[in-house]
Amino acid sequence: MFDFTFDWFKELETGDELIDQQHKEFFRIGRNIEQLIVRKCIGVQEQELLDIVCELREYVSYHFYSEESIMRQQGYSGYVHHVKEHLKFKKYVMEIDCPALAKNPYKELKAIKVMIQSWVFSHMMGEDVKMAKEIQHKVK
Ligand SMILES: [Fe+2]
């Protein structure tokens, strides 16, 4: 797999200011994970790892809530499917095994990064962009 770094790119822009701003926040968390991987987690403190998991859990909670509110308000046609994808990713994030992460941070963080990366390409670039386009079209 190519070496993905969390640099924002224009194909991710949904055109919705709030969603884009929150997606950039997700990239910031991604970059923190990336930095730990680059240093092979040498000298990483358990607290740093817990902070990252906490940030990810908080993020999926408020960000998915935001998007789902927007979709409901606008009567988005793909709501059910979109929420299903959110639930799957949220479940993954909520079930990150913190003791396993503390025991083997490098291996576990690399696995988390792969999940985030596939979320970026499958959901954010696909579903989120599609949803925002339909909503913007309705608002016009
Ligand atoms: Fe979404």
Give the model's pLDDT for residue 2: 58
Calculate how far, in angstroms, residue 64's C-alpha sits from the geometric centre of ligand 1: 6
What does the domain layout of the chain look like in residue ranges?
16-139
Tell me how far apart the alpha carbons of residues 118 and 121 are, in angstroms, rounded to a whole number: 5
Calculate how far, in angstroms, residue 108's C-alpha sits from the geometric centre of ligand 1: 24
pLDDT tens per residue across span 9-19: 999 999 999 99
Calculate how far, in angstroms, residue 82's C-alpha sits from the geometric centre of ligand 1: 6
Calculate how far, in angstroms, residue 35's C-alpha sits from the geometric centre of ligand 1: 25
Calculate how far, in angstroms, residue 23's C-alpha sits from the geometric centre of ligand 1: 9
Return mean pLDDT, the chain.
95
Q: pLDDT over 90 for what percent of the chain?
A: 93
Calculate how far, in angstroms, residue 110's C-alpha sits from the geometric centre of ligand 1: 23
Give the distance from CA 41 to its chain's centroid. Answer: 21
Q: For domain 16-139, give its CATH number from 2.30.30.100, 3.90.170.10, 1.20.120.50, 3.10.580.10.
A: 1.20.120.50
84-94 b/e (C-beta count within 10 Å ≥ 16 → b): ebbeebbeebe
Ordered DSSP codes for 38-101: HTTTTT--HHHHHHHHHHHHHHHHHHHHHHHHHHHHHT-TTHHHHHHHHHHHHHHHHT--HHHH
pLDDT tens per residue across span 103-133: 999 999 999 999 999 999 999 999 999 999 9
Q: Is the pLDDT of residue 80 over 90?
A: yes
Mean pLDDT of 30-52: 96
Sign of CA dihedral 110, 128, 60, 87: negative
- Which pTM was predicted? 0.93
